[in-house]
Amino acid sequence: MRPSIALLRKDLLLERRAPEAIPAMLLFSVTTFVLFHFGLGRDEVAGQLAAGVLTVTLLFAAILGINRLFVAEQEEGGFDGVLLAPIDRTALFVAKAAGLFLFLALVELVAVAAFAILLLGPSPWPGLPGLVLVLALLNVALAVVGALVSALAIRTRARDLIVPIVALPLLTPALIAAARATAPLFDAAGASGPPTKWLAVLALYDLVFGLLAYAVFDFLLED
């Protein structure tokens, strides 16, 4: 666990020193909500439409973060330095996934507030605990698949193309489950919590892809 913590600390320090991923994801999210506001020609959205707008926007914002995940390692030669260390290479996966999870959580703090102000019709407060749970599970999915795809893409010349082409289809089940779980929370009538069925689907997705990524990550880094 210590190598993962060292790697995560380094990534957080780099993002604090030279912010790249978080401002880009944040700006993208807020801009997209503004575009939806005008594009849909509606002042307010609710239910399934609101859930779709929020989750799809977060998914595309996450793609920006996934694209940048290994850039510091690649551009600055740090990758070789890490690969030379006597550590389990899955420590790198754990650190990158944890870093992306934290980046997404920080972005969502602002993005969800902006969504509530710019687009959301019903009050977000009653469904907030449920929304936090759904977004946490969605973030795990984005972080796990993102770290995996980013490691795959960084070894190719077409990194910026590979990430969305591979990540979006892989993340489609998670997006569907997150949108379905969120929809009742944004209903005008309100709901006490997200449907258990879709939460379970999301949790199962996290578990399956978490184990899969853990198993194959080492091979992705082999030359």
Let me know how long the chain is.
223
Residue where the block lists tokens 């990430």 = 163
Of positions 10, 37, 155, 159, contacts other proteins by CB under 8 A: 10
Q: Which is nearer to other proteins, 76 or 160 (CB)?
A: 76
Q: Which is nearer to other proteins, 2 or 157 (CB)?
A: 2
Burial of residue 102 (number of CB atoms within 10 Å: 0-12, 13-18, 19+): middle
Of positions 1, 38, 39, 86, contacts other proteins by CB under 8 A: 86
Residue where the block lists tokens 């510091």 = 72
2 binds other proteins (CB under 8 A): yes
| Piece of 2-10, 28-36, 108-116, 169-177 that binds other proteins (CB under 8 A) | 2-10
90 binds other proteins (CB under 8 A): no
- Binding residues with other proteins: total (CB under 8 A): 24
Site for other proteins in 180-209 (CB under 8 A): none
CA-CA distance, 189 to 211, in Å (whole number)? 38
Site for other proteins in 55-74 (CB under 8 A): 72
Element of type H or E holding 130? helix 128-153
CA-CA distance, 29 to 124, in Å (whole number)? 18
| Piece of 83-91, 112-120, 131-139, 197-205 that binds other proteins (CB under 8 A) | 83-91
DSSP string, 74-105: HHTSHHHHHHTSSS-THHHHHHHHHHHHHHHH
Q: Which is nearer to other proteins, 166 or 221 (CB)?
A: 221
Of positions 76, 129, 132, 215, contacts other proteins by CB under 8 A: 76
Which residues of this protein are in contact with other proteins, per CB under 8 A?
2-3, 6-7, 9-10, 13-14, 17-18, 72, 76-78, 80-87, 222-223
